[in-house]
């Protein structure tokens, strides 16, 4: 019963069993019509096993064996960021389609390696820029594509985390490479076909001032000038008392689209304190649908043999802004972007 259908679904190995691994795993295990989780891989003994048991699938500590398994069509990489590029290269070399959480790479050379590996293997490579799949952002992009917004003039993308981070575990430049990388991609997504040409950044340690001398920046504003003169502002902070705050704005010759309604629901309570709406506490809550949609889109690209909708080249473009922003903070000067899409 139903066997024919199951054959159709993309068989996915999940790499990594941390917070994002568990989240993507739950989606792959039960929420997608076109993909199914077959195994969880993590080199740490016991980690993959615990998660796999929850989903009722296999587990492994042996990456090579999983990549060699013909019963696996694709991998979803949710390992720590520093392993991302190597995992992309290895999985592509093994002929697996690759979905990689951001950042795909933290240097342009690594980005180029990852892109080349996927290209050489002829496999789809998709990067986890989830906002492109969030309804607000997709709707804004549709108004750009149909001409309603006109030519973009001013853009904005904001990310504020609810906080609770451990400053001792956050690498330097994280705010650019792991947080604002989403916003840089968003600015590019909302300014389709236009290259970024110059970046200026200001940043400080305002949440955890004691960590500033160790290089931890937790608050930043980055201005990106584009080839057509339009100007984007990306802004982040690692602590917001009201929850996870992701918003965007694109203002063009035809009008403005605004995105990001961080309410937990449409219910509003009016009481002695006024009108109160509760707000979301986490990215997984705010972007729940987007996380599902990006994996569904990835599985569809695998099934149909088409290019992924957010590619390694997209990751490289966002990375080129992130690296320029970090340099701008170090030098106090604007930084030109030589070649975002070589």
Q: How many CA atoms lie within 13 A of 51 on its CB side?
A: 30
Q: Which is nearer to a second copy, 174 or 328 (by Cβ)?
A: 328
Q: How many CA atoms lie within 13 A of 42 on its CB side?
A: 21
Least Cβ distance, residue 13 to a second copy (angstroms): 12
CB-CB contact of 61 with 67 (8 Å): no
Structure tokens at 220: 């930043």
Phi and psi torsions of 176, nearest 5°: -90, -45
Distances in Å between the alpha carbon of 82 and those of 67, 76, 177? 19, 15, 11
Q: Which is nearer to a second copy, 110 or 294 (by Cβ)?
A: 294
Q: Which is nearer to a second copy, 277 or 306 (by Cβ)?
A: 277
Least Cβ distance, residue 52 to a second copy (angstroms): 9
Q: Which is nearer to a second copy, 66 or 92 (by Cβ)?
A: 66
CB-CB contact of 181 with 102 (8 Å): yes
Interstrand relation of 97-100 and 125-127 (parallel, antiparallel or unpaired): parallel
Least Cβ distance, residue 268 to a second copy (angstroms): 5
Least Cβ distance, residue 26 to a second copy (angstroms): 8
Q: Which is nearer to a second copy, 60 or 85 (by Cβ)?
A: 60
Least Cβ distance, residue 255 to a second copy (angstroms): 3
Q: Which is nearer to a second copy, 169 or 333 (by Cβ)?
A: 333
For 50-56, the CB contacts below 8 A with 24+ separation are 50/17, 51/14, 51/17, 51/21, 51/22, 51/25, 54/25, 55/25, 55/26, 55/28, 55/29, 55/30, 56/29
Least Cβ distance, residue 191 to a second copy (angstroms): 13
CB-CB contact of 177 with 302 (8 Å): no
Least Cβ distance, residue 100 to a second copy (angstroms): 24
139 alpha carbon, distance to own chain's centre: 18
CA proximity to 43, closest of 12, 21, 23, 28: 21
Handedness of CA 192, 195, 198, 201 (dihedral sign): positive
């Amino acid at each position: 019963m139903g066997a024919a259908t199951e054959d159709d679904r993309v068989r996915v190995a999940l790499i990594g069993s941390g917070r994002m691994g568990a989240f993507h795993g739950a989606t792959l295990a039960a929420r997608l019509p076109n993909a199914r989780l077959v195994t969880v891989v993590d080199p740490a003994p016991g980690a993959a096993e615990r998660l796999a048991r929850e989903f009722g699938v296999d587990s492994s500590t042996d990456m090579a064996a999983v990549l060699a398994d013909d019963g696996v069509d694709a991998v979803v990489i949710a390992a720590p960021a520093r392993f991302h590029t190597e995992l992309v290269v290895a999985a592509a070399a093994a002929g697996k389609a690759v979905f990689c959480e951001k950042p795909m790479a933290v240097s342009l050379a690594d980005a180029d390696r990852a892109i080349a590996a996927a290209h050489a293997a002829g496999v789809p490579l998709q990067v986890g820029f989830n906002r492109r799949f969030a309804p607000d952002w997709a709707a804004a992009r549709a108004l750009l594509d149909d001409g309603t917004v006109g030519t973009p003039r001013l853009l904005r993308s904001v990310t504020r985390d609810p906080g609770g981070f451990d400053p001792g575990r956050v690498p330097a430049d994280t705010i650019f490479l792991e947080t604002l990388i989403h916003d840089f991609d968003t600015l590019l997504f909302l300014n389709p076909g236009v290259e970024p040409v110059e970046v200026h950044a200001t940043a400080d340690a305002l949440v955890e001032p004691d960590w500033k001398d160790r290089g931890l920046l937790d608050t930043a504003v980055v201005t990106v000038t584009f080839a057509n003169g339009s100007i984007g502002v990306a802004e982040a902070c690692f602590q917001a008392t009201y929850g996870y705050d992701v918003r965007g704005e694109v203002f063009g010759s035809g009008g403005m689209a605004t995105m990001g309604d961080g309410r937990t629901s449409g219910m509003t309570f009016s009481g002695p304190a006024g009108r109160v709406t509760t707000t979301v506490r986490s990215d997984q809550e705010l972007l729940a649908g987007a996380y599902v949609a990006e994996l569904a889109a990835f599985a569809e690209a695998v099934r149909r043999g088409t290019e992924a909708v957010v590619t390694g080249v997209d990751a490289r473009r966002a990375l080129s802004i992130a690296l320029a922003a970090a340099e701008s903070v170090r030098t106090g000067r604007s930084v030109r972007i030589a070649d975002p899409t070589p």
